[in-house]
Amino acid sequence: MGTQRYLLGKVVQLVITLFFVLTFTFFLFHYFMPGDPVRTFLKAAGAKYTPAQAEQLKHEFGLDQPIFPNQYVRFLKETATLHMGASTIIYPDSSVTSIFWSRVGKSLILITTSTIASIVIGVAMGIYGGWRRGGWVDNSSMSSSLVLYAMPEFVLGMILLLIFSRWLGWFPAGGYDGAPVTQYTGFAHFADVANHMALPWLTLMLAYLGEFYLLMRSSLLDVLGEEYITLARAKGVREKYVLRRHAVRNALLPTVTLIALSFGFILGGVITVEIVFSYPGVGLLSYQALRARDFPVLQATFLFAAVAVLIANLIADLTYAYLDPRVRSA
Amino acid sequence: MGAGRRAVVVIAALGSFLAVSLAGTALAQSVGSSAGPSNSGPIDFVEGTIADLNTVNPWKALTTQEYEVIGMNFDMLENFDKANLSAAPGLATSWTQSPDALTWTFTIRGDAKWQDGQPVTADDIAYTYNTTLQCQLGNSLDYLVPDYTKSIEATSPTTLVWTMNTPNTAPVRPPWVYIVPKHIWDGKPCSDIKKDPFFDNGKMIGSGPFQMTEWVKGESWTMTANKDYWGGAPQIDRFIVKHYNNAEAMVTALKQGEIDYTGTPSIALFNQISQENGANGITAHLGPTSGFDQMSFNMCDPSAADAAPYCKRTGGTGNPILQDVTVRKAIEMAIDKQTLVDKVLQGTGSIGSTIVPWPQYHLDPPDAIQFSISGANALLDQAGYTDTDGDGIRNDPKSGQNLEFRFILRSDSDYGAQLGQYISGWLKQIGIKTINTVETTNKLTNDWYDNDYDMYIWGWYPDPDPDFILSTFTSHQCGSWSDTCYSNPEYDQMYKAQQTAQSQQQRVDIINQMQQKIYDDIPEIVLEYNRTTELYNSAKWAGLEDNQSPQPEGTLWSQYTPYSALTVHLRGNEAASTSSGGIPAIAWVGIIAVVGIVVAGVIGVSRRRSASDEDMA
């Protein structure tokens, strides 16, 4: 019963936070961002747009209404019912949901697989490094992790692109697959997509690997100094159980929190990596929509980003509760 | 052997079995469906581009990519002549003008078919033109000269009659209007037509040599050859465009054989490839002048008697000192255009002068302004702009203010900021200070609409017919297409006169006068003309260089009327398809197997737990 209540509480918290995030970004865009989408469109389209036609266009875009409350309420309604309308600038007259769905799967595969790999490998290495502190493995992991942590993702991406695509020719220079030139099906298509995703995946995985390694390692070192560890050893518990049952479980707690916090940055990194590799995901779409001031598409990408971060935090909260029984019964 | 260890062995065995069977499938499939000998896959010509495709509605086309697709999917009444871009037979095989010069009669060919099999008739053309006029659709409207057109009718399936109320050569400019099928669009209200995405609704039915059959937005779009095209079947099966987000990746793809052609490399990349002299089989082709970069001045003075209507309504913050043509002339004199061509364009262009770049109509001004810092200084001295406060910046004799101007450069331009830097340096030498800001196109558009600027740098790729670019300097284009809100009644008159000129020679004379007027009044300075830069795999493809348009110096692809789309073909017996790049499928099988085994191993090991987890040593 306690767990159910806890879970419900977390979900309600998520919805409220989402509401605040969307409200904040809505006002940020409409009040503070320079650049009027109608004017951008008119300047680009020109033709014989009489002032009356320009007004009509503004009306069609829904921009002639007062921002608060009309446009705001419309925004909330559209977001809640997922009726995002049509793109105005990037793909004029095409439905936002169709544009979005064609991209979101590609980004999700990339983000989830690389983040999971990054977490698993980073944490495992961190545990090993913290446990066998001072060994050559620890020292070399430490220095390479610092380098990776310090390097911006897109720089890492460009370096990998240069080495593996330009010089060695092992992987293609960008995109999602070879279609429509190649017409693979089944496993051959999977391999084709894997080839195209390999470098962006590697970039994202390495970019955050360093951070997770350092987090876990320092967290473990902290815990190893605790009194209950000394007690366990004094009791005669075998080293590997001291590590597994006592040290790691406690060290994971702050690590989980910090990993959840970094998810927002991972999404930001995805945008730059998708640009470097021309990977047609939601990150690239956000960038294009922002430049073009295409509000309907921007709404969709913001909703996605907000929900993704909040869900990641929810998962982290639940993991925390799973790891630490004290939290559950509170 | 404990339960745990047995589990690990079983999982490992399963893993290997899975790996082997996947390997077999992969092998079978890659042999079957990927690139094989030349007669197995379709013949694809693949283009790489930085610019994405936004819309394929023929009335909304704006960018090169959009015109490329629409130009291949649809036909026009008259084509652009291959050599000089004047009117050539298209859907119309011939035309005559009535003795009173008011009526043009076109004979429409009988063998053209829509891509859904229906025949193309004069009715379709009349429908398209009249709908464009009535619904005030898109950028092609000007070509139908609404003020002078009385009626456009199909008097028979093969006869189109265009009646004017004033003699006019507009019908043979040629009109840049793409013809759509009446049987699909007839009866639809204007608002629906304006908002129709065309491809998304399955309405990309034209009569052109290719038809758009696939569009993965942001990634690629595919056009399939129309083997029944009246102008002859293309020699390729598909034309595919792949969208890249950065030029380096795109050029790498060209070198690796993933794409065959690109028309959008940056100047630096183009020169780099030029210097490689055909390595990787890539040819670098420098084409004709297609556009220009300009430095525009804010000519909106709301208090002026003949200010443009929009300027009067909106007002503006332009520095009044710039209203003096002497100051603008001095600025132009201080700019070393040759250096801009050499250093910024790195040779891929020429010095700018008048606003019409195309050779057929371009005027070389007889008294061209020569670069001279001393001359510019002398001009300003004579006009009374001296430095009264000794700060190195000249002062306006009337207001005493410094000659200090805001100068906006676009961040989205490859080299806009560079141009600005050079110019600022020269202006400093003549005692003019610039306040440079780099803005996104969006922000500049806003400032421009508000007339809130002094000077900025932008560019144009004018149509082959000069009517449009000339129209942008008329007073009613302020707030629409006008760069500067320049407003001059004499110029407006000349614009009307060239539209209603009775003969081509008369029209050319008026257009020359208009160019001279803009050149003398200097609402903007044409800095330089840029030439097209194209890269393509000449080892694999033939039929391009001998089919350039216009001639003698033309583009190899993406032409105003796509001639080379019909002539491009593979050299010899080259393999048709290109590879997608990457490690072979087998390698992925191996990777998956390894990952699977490792995960299985970890799970197996962690399950191996004794009853008590507090084992004593």
Rounded CA-CA distance A57/B195 in Å is 11
Nearest Cα residue in chain B from A273 = B245
- Mean pLDDT over A288-315 rounds to 86
What pLDDT is recorded for position B34?
A: 43
- Mean pLDDT over B519-533 rounds to 96
- Mean pLDDT over A301-309 rounds to 87
With a pLDDT cut of 70, the percent of chain B lying above it is 90
- Closest residue to A171, CB basis, from B138, B200, B581: B581
pLDDT reading at B20 higher than 70: no
Q: How many CA atoms lie within 13 A of A197 on its CB side?
A: 22
Nearest Cα residue in chain A from B45 = A181
Contact B580, A172 (CB under 8 A): yes
Cβ contact, residue pair A187, B29, below 8 Å: yes
Range 53-92 of B in CB contact (< 8 A) with A: 54-55, 57, 60, 62
Cα pseudo-dihedral A271, A276, A279, A284, rounded to 10: 40
Long-range contacts, stretch A272-275, CB < 8 angstroms, 24+ apart = A272/A152, A272/A153, A272/A154, A272/A157, A273/A153, A273/A154, A273/A157, A273/A200, A273/A203, A273/A204, A273/A207, A274/A107, A274/A200, A275/A154, A275/B245, A275/B246
Cβ contact, residue pair B581, A172, below 8 Å: yes
- Mean pLDDT over B134-143 rounds to 85
Nearest Cα residue in chain B from A167 = B252
pLDDT in tens, B552-571: 899 999 999 999 999 999 99
What pLDDT is recorded for position A293?
A: 81
pLDDT in tens, A224-247: 889 989 998 899 988 888 888 888
- Closest residue to A280, CB basis, from B218, B579, B615: B218
Closest CA to A153 of A276, A309, A305, A259: A276
C-beta atoms surrounding B233 within 10 Å: 12
Instruction: Give chain B positions within 8 Å (CB) of A195.
Output: 580-583, 588
The H or E element containing residue B373 is helix B373-382
What pLDDT is recorded for position B535?
A: 96
In sequence order, the β-bridge partners of residue B48 are B242, B262
Closest CA to A35 of B52, B298, B450, B459: B450
Instruction: Give chain B positions within 8 Å (CB) of A177.
Output: 580
Rounded CA-CA distance A250/A323 in Å is 8
With a pLDDT cut of 70, the percent of chain A lying above it is 95
State both tokens at B333. 């004199």
Q: Tell me the range of A215-224, A258-267, B74-83, B185-194 where mean pLDDT is highest.
A: B74-83
Task: For an interface test with A, give the residue of B34, B54, B56 to mutate (most A CBs within 10 A).
Answer: B54
Phi, psi of A241 (to 5 degrees): -80, -30
Q: Which residues of B587-599 are buried (b: 16+ CB within 10 A; e: fewer)?
A: ebbeebbeebbee
- Mean pLDDT over B93-118 rounds to 95
pLDDT in tens, B329-371: 999 999 999 999 999 999 999 999 999 998 889 999 999 999 9
What pLDDT is recorded for position B35?
A: 42
Rounded to 10 deg, the angle between the A186-224 and B3-33 helix axes is 140
B404-410/B455-460 β-pairing = parallel
pTM of the complete model? 0.84
Cβ contact, residue pair A181, B578, below 8 Å: yes
Q: Confidence class of residue A213 from pLDDT cuts 50, 70 and 90?
A: very high
Residue B265, preceding peptide bond in cis (omega within 30° of 0):
no
Nearest Cα residue in chain B from A91 = B54
Lowest mean pLDDT among A313-317, B73-77, B84-88: A313-317
C-beta atoms surrounding B103 within 10 Å: 17
pLDDT in tens, B153-178: 999 999 999 999 998 888 988 999 99
Instruction: Give chain B positions within 8 Å (CB) of A40.
Output: 441-442, 445
| CB-count exposure of residue A232 (10 Å: 0-12, 13-18, 19+) | buried
* pLDDT mean across residues, chain A: 85
The CA R_g of chain B, rounded to the nearest whole Å, is 31
pLDDT in tens, A83-139: 888 888 889 888 898 898 889 999 999 999 999 999 999 999 998 888 888 778 788
Cα pseudo-dihedral B328, B332, B333, B336, rounded to 10: 160
Contact A174, A278 (CB under 8 A): yes
Using DSSP's 3-state secondary structure scheme, residue B251 falls into helix
Contact A219, B600 (CB under 8 A): no
Rounded CA-CA distance A151/A129 in Å is 21
Q: Confidence class of residue B617 from pLDDT cuts 50, 70 and 90?
A: very low
Range 99-138 of B in CB contact (< 8 A) with A: 136, 138
Range 270-299 of A in CB contact (< 8 A) with B: 275-278, 280, 284-285, 288, 291-293
Q: Is B443 on the interface with A (CB under 8 A)?
A: yes
Which H, E and C letters describe chain A, residue by residue? CHHHHHHHHHHHHHHHHHHHHHHHHHHHHHHHCCCCHHHHHHHHHCCCCCHHHHHHHHHHHCCCCCHHHHHHHHHHHHHHHCCCCECCCCCCCCEHHHHHHHHHHHHHHHHHHHHHHHHHHHHHHHHHHHHCCCCHHHHHHHHHHHHHHHCCHHHHHHHHHHHHHHHCCCCCCCCCCCCCCCCCCHHHHHHHHHHHHHHHHHHHHHHHHHHHHHHHHHHHHHHHCCHHHHHHHHHCECHHHHHHHHHHHHHHHHHHHHHHHCHHHHHHHHHHHHHHCCCCCHHHHHHHHHHHCCHHHHHHHHHHHHHHHHHHHHHHHHHHHHHCHHHHHC
What pLDDT is recorded for position B36?
A: 38
Chain A: give the shortest CA distance to residue B432, in Å: 29
Rounded CA-CA distance B81/A12 in Å is 67
pLDDT in tens, B286-338: 999 989 999 999 999 999 999 999 999 999 999 999 999 999 999 999 999 99
User: Is pLDDT larger for residue B60 or for residue A203?
Assistant: A203
Cβ contact, residue pair A34, B443, below 8 Å: yes
- Closest residue to A94, CB basis, from B29, B200, B219: B200
- Mean pLDDT over B202-219 rounds to 94
Closest CA to B581 of A272, A310, A175, A283: A175
C-beta atoms surrounding B429 within 10 Å: 12
B261-262/B44-49 β-pairing = parallel
State both tokens at B53. 């495709």
Cβ contact, residue pair A93, B25, below 8 Å: no
User: Is pLDDT larger for residue B152 or for residue A277?
Assistant: B152
Lowest mean pLDDT among B497-506, B554-563, B584-593, B600-609: B600-609
Rounded CA-CA distance B88/B94 in Å is 9
Range 126-185 of A in CB contact (< 8 A) with B: 161, 165-166, 169-185
pLDDT reading at B32 higher than 50: no
Lowest mean pLDDT among A104-108, B10-14, B121-125: B10-14
User: Is pLDDT larger for residue B463 or for residue B8?
Assistant: B463
* pLDDT mean across residues, chain B: 89
Rounded CA-CA distance B146/A14 in Å is 58
pLDDT in tens, A129-164: 888 887 787 888 889 999 998 999 999 999 998 899
pLDDT reading at B37 higher than 50: no
| CB-count exposure of residue B575 (10 Å: 0-12, 13-18, 19+) | middle
C-beta atoms surrounding B481 within 10 Å: 21
Rounded CA-CA distance A29/A37 in Å is 11
Q: Confidence class of residue B33 from pLDDT cuts 50, 70 and 90?
A: very low
With a pLDDT cut of 90, the percent of chain B lying above it is 69
What pLDDT is recorded for position B608?
A: 63
